[in-house]
Amino acid sequence: MGELFAGVLERGGVRAAVADDAWLQALLDAEAALAGALADVGLATPDEASAVAAACVAERYDAAALGRDAAATGNPVPPLVAALRAEVERTSPGAAAIVHRGATSQDVADTAAMLVVARALPVLCGDLRGAADAAAALAAEHRDTVMAGRTLLQQAVPTTFGLKAAGWMSALDAATAPLRAYKPAAQLGGAAGTLASVHPHGPALTSAYARRLGLAEPVLPWHTDRTRVGALASALGAAAGAVAKAAGDVVLLAQTEVGEVREAAGGGSSAMPHKQNPVAAISARACAGRAAGLVATLLTAMAHEHERAAGAWHAEWLPLRDLLVTVGSAAAWLRASLERLEVDAVRMRANLDATGGRLLAERVAAALAPPLDRAAVHEAVAEAAADRERPFAEALAAHPLLAGHLDVAGAEALLDPTAYTGSAPELVDRALAARAA
């Protein structure tokens, strides 16, 4: 993407974990592990494997040049293998013969992708966890802080800010779980997935290769079985959705007319000196919003032909890296937003009172039906709520159907929002306890 937009769209540590130098080192790590595995099964000497491993240092190679040379072969592995062989031959003549033995380009590239994923996910999950921790702290602190619940962007019935924050927490934790459980797998199949060039050592070589890399050992080569990539993409997409939900709530609650939360370090405007925008939440939404298209691209690219895809595999490379970056950035931004979020309980109460108690209409209707007919009471309360000439309590007490069952004092008692949050506080406790367990 370059540097101009990176400050907003590539926040956090994932960017470095998936940068060109990280990918290049991962490709070389795959080659080094392969050489070591060849020695493990008797197809190379330990000295030869050590010579290859010693040459697998990213700083010795030019990623930009490898990228240019990749145009001739359709992927960057062949030029890298040529450069690696030349480097090994220079330092340890003869050992170059074992470089890349038994592998095909996709073996090394897929394995490198899994190494990059394995190194990036802990960083990404750390920020998701940090955001969830911040949400948990807000939930505990504001367990009983009453605010207006909103449906279809209109005031509905009272809730608590603690319950809203607990919802963010639960969603973030649920989205993090499959990412933490994801097991990147090594890839080794040779030209067409048969490991023919190293027969009969193929299965043993794969085991040694995966073990050296610290990756899961697949039952079969997965050149054209892209369910691993699809599962990762889907999990990242779900995480982006959880981030977008929480960030969107913050943006809405921080609107001037609502003013129920604010970021302690809001951003300014180039034109309006008074502005304090919730930049972290806004940026989290922006990054999360890029994820769905990348997920769709990766899921579409799962249709690989026969034993090697003609283009679908290549279509995965940048979307996978971009998806990791954008979801990682979204998580980092949301963490920053929630960790510095300021909650205005006084404004929340003022907004609750803005409708004159009308968001308690459900409570009034429930209190009067029975003995009165439920449908008739619902209509009567709606008519009283539509009366803007007098306070809601007076309108209720004056309604012909309700007058004999409700006086002004009784109506005012029913319109107390602090007494109609239902199980919200207990639900917060339940969510926090489940998380602690």
CATH number, domain with residue 108: 1.20.200.10
Q: Do residues 318 and 386 both lie within one domain? A: no
Instruction: Note whether 278 and 366 are same-domain residues.
Output: no
| pLDDT score of 4 | 86
| Domain end call among 304, 333, 348 | 348
Are residues 287 and 400 part of one domain? no
Residue 416: phi, psi to the nearest 5? -80, 110
Pair (122, 226) in one structural domain: yes
What CATH number is attached to the domain comprising 418? 1.10.40
pLDDT for the residue 430: 98
Report yes or no on 1 lying in a domain.
no
Q: Judging by beta carbons within 10 Å of its beta carbon (0-12, 13-18, 19+), is residue 404 exposed, middle or buried?
A: exposed
Mean pLDDT for 385-399 is 91
What one-letter code names the amino acid at 392? F
pLDDT for 1 equals: 53
Residue 208 maps to a domain: yes
Does residue 176 lie within any of the structural domains?
yes
Q: Give, rounded to a whole angstrom, the gap between the first and last alpha carbons of the chain.
A: 41
277 and 150 assigned to the same domain: yes
Residue 412 within a domain: yes
Q: Do residues 419 and 309 share a domain? A: no
pTM, 2 dp:
0.94
pLDDT, averaged across the chain? 95
Same domain, 224 and 370: no
List the catalytic residues. Answer: 269, 308
- For residues 63 and 198, membership in a common domain is answered with yes
Do 323 and 337 have their domain in common?
yes
pLDDT band at 3 (very low <50, low <70, confident <90, very high): confident
Kindly state whether residues 236 and 377 are assigned to the same domain.
Answer: no
Complete DSSP assignment for 51-99? HHHHH--GGGS-HHHHHHHGGGTTSSHHHHHHHHHHHHHHHSTTGGGGT
Domain boundary among 308, 325, 348: 348
* 342 and 361 co-located in one domain: no
If you ran DSSP here, which 8-state letter would residue 13 be given? S
78-111 confidence digits (pLDDT tens): 999 999 999 999 999 899 999 999 999 999 999 9
Same-domain pairing of 73 and 165: yes
**Count of domains observed in the chain:** 2
Identify the domain containing residue 250 by its residue range. Answer: 6-348
Final residue in a domain of this structure, among 313, 348, 383: 348
